[in-house]
């Protein structure tokens, strides 16, 4: 049986203490043995990477940690930037090209290419989000098809149509795993797996540990 990937994207929703509470609850309810053939990647705020990593390690959960973005600059006098090198010891994965970053923070193709290059250089595995066939140099761990109309809208993409869109990308974007993202819930998650996706990227439904655990179970 192949592995299913579940990426939980916390975006910029939780305060430090809310993230502490989330972790406290989550380690109580998430089964220590995990779910067979499911790989979970938690992507908290960069400011919460360490507490997330510590909580997961302390509870002996086999869960991976990802960062939601990295800088397109490698290092230097760039106050406030979070570089690939700075997070490489904390996170194993990085989400690149999320539509919220493309829309709000000028993540264009050239920047996305630089970020992929830096992630590859510093050993972060790339989860690339896109809604169209793009072409980049470098190694991609996963590509997530994320129709922007579906992200955070409560209007999920139709699973089979989404899979047909994803199929179009496969010739230009080579990755180990192809994911769906956009208004995934514990009720609809399995329909994406049944339609051929290797996993999902979840935003809103990550924020409640009980619902999130249910979603992972149902994937
Ligand atoms: P959503 O976000 O699950 O809240 O729609 C998806 C995403 O982060 O891309």
CA 86 – ligand 1 centroid, Å: 26
Angstrom distance (rounded) from CA 22 to CA 13: 12
- Distance from the alpha carbon of residue 175 to the mean position of ligand 1, in angstroms: 20
Ligand 1 centroid to residue 200 C-alpha, Å? 10
The structure's pTM equals 0.97
Rounded to the nearest 10 degrees, how much is the dihedral formed by the CA atoms of 40, 44, 50, 51? Answer: -90
pLDDT on residue 1: 59
pLDDT at 119: 98
- 129, 153, 183, best to mutate for ligand 1 pocket (most atoms within 8 Å of CB): 183
From 68, 201, 206, mutation site for ligand 1 pocket: most ligand atoms within 8 A of C-beta: 201
What is the whole-number distance in angstroms between the Cα of residue 216 and the centre of ligand 1? 15
Q: Which parts of 36-90 fold into alpha helices (H)?
A: 49-58, 84-87
Q: Whose CA is nearest to atom 1 of ligand 1?
A: 203
Say whether pLDDT at 199 is over 80: yes
Q: Which residue has the tokens 């990647």?
A: 41
Instruction: Provide the annotated active-site residues.
Output: 98, 146
- Measured from the Cα of 202, ligand 1's closest atom is 3
Does the pLDDT of residue 202 top 80, yes or no?
yes
Model confidence over 80-128: pLDDT tens digits? 999 999 999 999 999 999 999 999 999 999 999 999 999 999 999 999 9
Mean pLDDT of the chain: 97
Strand ranges for the chain from DSSP E: 4-9, 38-43, 64-67, 93-96, 125-130, 140-145, 175-181, 199-202
Q: Tell me: the pLDDT tens digits for 42-86?
A: 999 999 999 999 999 999 999 999 999 999 999 999 999 999 999
Specify burial of residue 31 (Cβ count, 10 A radius: 0-12, 13-18, 19+): exposed
Name which residue sits closest to atom 7 of ligand 1, judged by CA: 203
- pLDDT for the residue numbered 2: 84
């Amino acid at each position: 049986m192949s592995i299913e990937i579940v990426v939980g994207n916390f975006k910029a929703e939780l305060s430090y203490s809310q993230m502490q509470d989330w972790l406290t609850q989550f380690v109580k309810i998430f089964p220590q043995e995990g779910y067979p053939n499911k790989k979970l990647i938690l992507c908290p705020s960069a400011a919460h990477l360490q507490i997330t990593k510590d909580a997961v390690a302390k509870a002996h959960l086999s869960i991976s940690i990802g960062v939601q973005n990295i800088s397109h600059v490698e290092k230097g006098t760039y106050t406030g930037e979070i570089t690939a090198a700075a997070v490489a010891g904390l996170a194993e994965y990085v989400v690149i090209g999320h539509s919220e970053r493309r829309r709000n923070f000028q993540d264009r193709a050239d920047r996305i290419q630089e970020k992929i290059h830096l992630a590859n250089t510093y050993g972060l595995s790339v989860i690339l989000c896109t809604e169209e066939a793009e072409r980049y140099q470098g190694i991609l761990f996963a590509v997530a098809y994320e129709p922007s109309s579906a992200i955070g809208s409560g209007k999920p993409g139709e699973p089979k149509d989404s899979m047909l869109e994803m199929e179009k990308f496969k010739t230009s974007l080579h990755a180990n795993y192809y994911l769906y993202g956009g208004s995934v819930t514990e009720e609809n998650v399995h329909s994406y797996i049944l339609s051929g996706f290797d996993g999902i990227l979840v935003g809103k439904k990550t924020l409640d540990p009980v619902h999130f655990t249910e979603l992972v179970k149902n994937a």
